[in-house]
Amino acid sequence: MSLAAVNARRVLPLVTGLLLAALMLPPLAMLVHGSFAQTNAAGAVTGWTLHHFRALLTAPGVGTTLWNSLVFSAGSTVLSLAVGGLLAWLVERTNAPLRFLATLSTIISMGTPYVLHVVAWLFLLGPVGPANGLWQAAGGAGKLIEVQSMGGMILIEGFLWSPLVFLLLGATFRAANADMEEAARTSGASVPATIWRISLPLAMPAILALALFVFIRAIGAFEVPALVGIPSRIYVLTTTVFESMKTMPPDLGQASAFAVVMVAIVAVLLHFYGRLSANAEKYHSVTGKGFRPRPFDLGAWRWAAGALIVANFIIVLLLPMIALVWMALQRFPRGFSMAGLKTLTLSNFNAVIEAPNYLDLAFNSLLVAAGAASAIMALAAFAGWIAARNAPGGRVLDQLSTLSLVFPGIVLGVAVMEVYLRVPLPIYGTLWIILIAYIIRFMPFGMRYVYAGVLQLHRELEEAAAVAGAGTLTILRRIVAPLLRPAMVAGWLFIFLIANKELAIAVLLASPGAQVAAVAVFDLWVNGQGGELAAFGLLWTLLMTVVAVLFFWQSRRGGADIWGN
Amino acid sequence: MGFARRAILHAAMLITAFAASPAHAAGADAALIEAARREGQVVWYSTLIVNQITRPLALAFEKKYPGIKVQYSRATSTDVALKIASEARAGRIQADVFDGSNTVFPLGDAGLVETYLVEAASAYPPELRDAKGTWTALNVYFMTAGYNTDLVKGADIPKTFDDLLDPKWAGKMAWTTDPTVNGAPGFIQNILALKGEAAGMAYLKALAGQKVVNIPASQRVVLDKVIAGEFPLGLMIFNHHATISAEQGAPVAWARLEPLVSNANLISAVKGAPHPNAARLFLEYVLSVEGQKEVAKSLYLPAHPRVQAQVAGLKPEAGGFKARIVTPDMLRAGEKGWTAIYQDLFR
């Protein structure tokens, strides 16, 4: 082995580790620092205090906030699991008709910013929306649905998350060991009995792990709590952090204290998630089978199942899209009506296309998402390979790169802001700060893709290259990189999509000169430009759907599913 | 760098001061235009509604001064102040000009407002122009109630503040959470001034019993909810917003709850702005007769004494309504107390 090769093997983990540490550690440190720091009016630290935590404990409504967070997260987890899980099972394991509709709605909702969905739902379920309108037309008194409520929040969040649940559980059901089901069926068990006694127990560890995963995401959710919760005066942890950043001057101390509490909660939950999912892997007995398990024959229930799939398609995709089209074509806001049909106008689309700032905005968003995806995949390629090969430092790299899972988006926004308000690096108010936040937030996903990709490659190839005299870098470049390409591309596209989708990370970091699409949609909503919002949102969704289609095509082709498993 | 920039500024100011008046008649002077053009853009943090006025004004400016781009964005007064203060803390100010009813005060306290006496605004009355040059009124506001004309007709249209206490409006009125004179605090000061302290508080308590819905968004959003029929009545909306929407066919009008609350939207330049000359040129433009005519064209109410509002009836003189002007000084003195009453009774 040449000297250069030895050096590369030592230096590579070190450089990767330093880069990751420089990204991941400052936000966490600053958050903790901020929660104990006493500051003067100009924001300079003057001493240390427990005041922020004390204030947090004694503030009125803290208990309610925590309780709201719990109810909201638990409720939306259950709903999204029920909807997404049922759908996944119908699509993957039965012969229900029209199954492609479920995949279609999932692909399109992958590309739609959450905030846009929420706006559409608020219209549909709102006081003048079709739900209440039909109810009143049918002679109902008052409102059928009060969307500005905890129930409304859970309903919207649950449906918002059901496509991802569908994807993830779909993978579980696809990989399920069908031998036992086959055995049960040949022994004379009915379809329901087989599902109840065999399929469900087998999938249960994966379902539980996924439930916890969705719960963690819901704790950190921002879009629904902000748009639905704040007007209803229902505050959860994320919106409390947001509001304390929005007073003049911003209460960084209180926001940090709340953020630290959230990080602690998420860290504990993640610990259990790790154990649950490790447990789930144990049952993940067979992979890479050459055949797909025989689908259950639903018999006469086939069409009922098909109706469910269609209903889901209408609710999750069709209605929100129709709502957005309607909003985009109106000069001023109004419910669905015949009168509204006569006043349709393209003026909102014209404004979006002609006003130069929308083009800048779209370009900025694409640039920063592509930048983040590229940087992450580049870093993850090294870190993931080192970790997957159990090379020295591998464990540390793995932990460093997945550290940011403890940050809900809004918390990361606060943390990154604190870092760059104090560090004399003038990137506050530029796209760079959003880029850095995205890299930190989505690094764990890139790591998952590379790690799983490397595990699929047999060591022999690399060993053979090493025997033939290739150095570490040569092996990486000539052997690993080409074979990893499908996983890398899928990971890149996935990060690109979610970076453009999430609002919470950028909402505190975006500036007028450095704006991204999801934040712009949120601003348009708060400022009362629903028409332009809908027009811009639809065009944006169209663009992102193209990327999402590419992503699915690449994932299928590369044999990696959404999670990189 | 700092010195060089200051030197250029001083030179520009001297040139502005000594420049002959014919150049002024045509607008800003050549040296300022040239310096602004070299900067290439001006960044405007606005509290105005983008598609109604911010964008049209920006486009008009870009048309008059090709090569100088206007970057704009919209947020509430508090958010605009917050952004600029954070930028200053991070050592990277990006805003050149900003507006808002009370954005300038916290920023002035933080030493972030440039003093610049806008030449084009020399004819403005003193209440619309700070003598030190920290702000000038860009447009004036009249706040009142707006109602959905499909849902509220004839005798139901409120004519006095006491009409709002009718039980039929319980839960049917909304207003913005904007904690400024343009939100509930402005309403509160109006009632206290109109009815006196004791009767005023009694009225406000009765109004709180009507469960006015707080909308955490702009006055424009509140009015949109009135237009859509979610609420028949919206309080503290801008009367010109109702006119703009009515001209587009929306079922909305504004009620004459006298006196209307009046204040001004103040525009200022940022101290340490990245494009100081473009900022000045922009102020000179939007406050000039020409810029103010653009303001009028978008149905906003110009501050310039010689520029007529497009719909004259939106202003007290032609509209024949009484208005109570809240000056920046009154605002500074009373704001805390009004906001406290709001938090106490209505949150």
> Is the peptide bond between A249 and the residue preceding it cis, with omega within 30 degrees of 0?
yes
Write out residues in chain A with pLDDT < 70, as ranges. 1-6, 41-43, 177, 248-249, 280-293, 558-565
Nearest beta carbon to residue B220 from set A233, A421, A527: A527
Query: What phi and psi values does residue A72 have, to the nearest 5 degrees?
Result: -60, -45
Residue A139's pLDDT is 84
Q: Which residue has the tokens 């590309």?
A: A111
Measure the CA–CA gap between A118 and A116, rounded to whole angstroms.
5
Q: Count CB-CB contacts under 10 A for residue A164.
A: 20
Residue A562's pLDDT is 45
Residue A182's pLDDT is 80
Residue B25's pLDDT is 39
Residue A3's pLDDT is 54
Name the closest residue on chain A to residue B46, using Cα atoms: A512
Name the closest residue on chain B to residue A42, using Cα atoms: B89
CA distances from A420 to A3, A37, B101, B200 (A): 40, 16, 30, 47
Residue B217 has pLDDT above 90, yes or no: no
Cβ-count burial B1-29 (b if 16+ within 10 Å, e if not): eeeeeeeebeebeebbeebeeebbeebbb
Task: Give the 3-state secondary structure percentages of chain A, helix then strand then coil, rounded to 5.
Answer: 75, 0, 20
In the stretch 212-271 of chain B, residues with CB closer than 8 A to chain A read 214-218, 220-221, 223-225, 227-230, 245, 248-250
For residue A250, which residues of chain B lie inside 8 Å, CB to CB?
82, 86
Cβ separation A233–B214 shorter than 8 A: yes
Q: Count CB-CB contacts under 10 A for residue A478.
A: 11
Nearest beta carbon to residue B248 from set A331, A513, A530: A331
For residue A427, which residues of chain B lie inside 8 Å, CB to CB?
92
Q: Count CB-CB contacts under 10 A for residue B56.
A: 16
Nearby residues of A216 by Cβ (< 8 Å), 6 or more positions away: A266, A269, A270, A273
Nearest beta carbon to residue B43 from set A231, A334, A513: A513
Task: Select the more confidently predicted residue: B270 or A526.
Answer: B270
Residue B2's pLDDT is 45
* Residue A490 burial class via C-beta count within 10 angstroms: exposed 0-12, middle 13-18, buried 19 and up: buried
Q: Rounded to 5 degrees, what angle do the CA atoms A465, A470, A471 make? A: 125
Distance from CA of A126 to the nearest CA of B (A): 8
Token pair, residue A378, equals 């580049």
Residue B67's pLDDT is 93
Residue B223 has pLDDT above 90, yes or no: yes
For residue B214, which residues of chain A lie inside 8 Å, CB to CB?
231, 233
CA distances from B161 to A416, B142, B197, B206, B259 (A): 48, 16, 16, 11, 9
Residue B328's pLDDT is 82
Nearest beta carbon to residue B92 from set A126, A334, A428: A428
Q: Is B89 on the interface with A (CB under 8 A)?
A: yes
Helix (H) or strand (E) holding B74: strand B69-74
Measure the CA–CA gap between A297 and A191, rounded to whole angstroms.
8
Q: What is the mean pLDDT of chain B?
A: 89
Name the closest residue on chain B to residue A428, using Cα atoms: B90
What does the DSSP assignment read for B264-307?
EEEEEEBTT-S-HHHHHHHHHHHHSHHHHHHHHHTT-EE--TTS
Token pair, residue A82, equals 């029920």
Measure the CA–CA gap between B47 and B49, rounded to whole angstroms.
7
Lowest-pLDDT choice from A322-326, A399-403, B26-30, B62-66: B26-30
For an interface test with B, the pick among A123, A511, A521 (most B C-beta atoms closer than 10 Å) comes out as A511
Helix (H) or strand (E) holding B138: strand B136-148
Query: What phi and psi values does residue B300 have, to the nearest 5 degrees?
Result: -85, 170
pLDDT tier for residue B16 given thresholds of 50, 70 and 90: very low
For residue B50, which residues of chain A lie inside 8 Å, CB to CB?
527, 529
Residue B14's pLDDT is 44
DSSP β-bridge partners for residue B42: B70
3-state SS of A209-240? HHHHHHHHHHHCCCHHHHHHHHHHCCCCHHHH
Give first-to-last CA distance, chain B, whole Å.
Answer: 49
Cβ separation B72–A127 shorter than 8 A: no
For residue B211, which residues of chain A lie inside 8 Å, CB to CB?
none
Residue B280 has pLDDT above 90, yes or no: yes
Helix (H) or strand (E) holding A527: helix A517-527
Nearest beta carbon to residue A333 from set B87, B214, B227: B227
Strands (E), B152-300: 173-176, 213-215, 233-238, 252-254, 260-269
What does the DSSP assignment read for A86-131?
HHHHHHHHB--S-THHHHHHHHHHHHS-HHHHHHHHHHHHSTTSHH
How many whole angstroms from its chain centre is CA A437?
A: 14
Q: Is B330 on the interface with A (CB under 8 A)?
A: no
Measure the CA–CA gap between B320 and B315, rounded to whole angstroms.
8
Cβ-based interface (< 8 Å): residues of A facing B: 42-43, 126-128, 230-231, 233, 246-250, 331-335, 343, 351, 355, 357, 417, 420-421, 424, 426-430, 511-513, 515, 523, 525-530, 532
Q: Is B51 on the interface with A (CB under 8 A)?
A: yes
Residue B127 has pLDDT above 60, yes or no: yes
Q: What's the mean pLDDT in B208-225?
A: 91
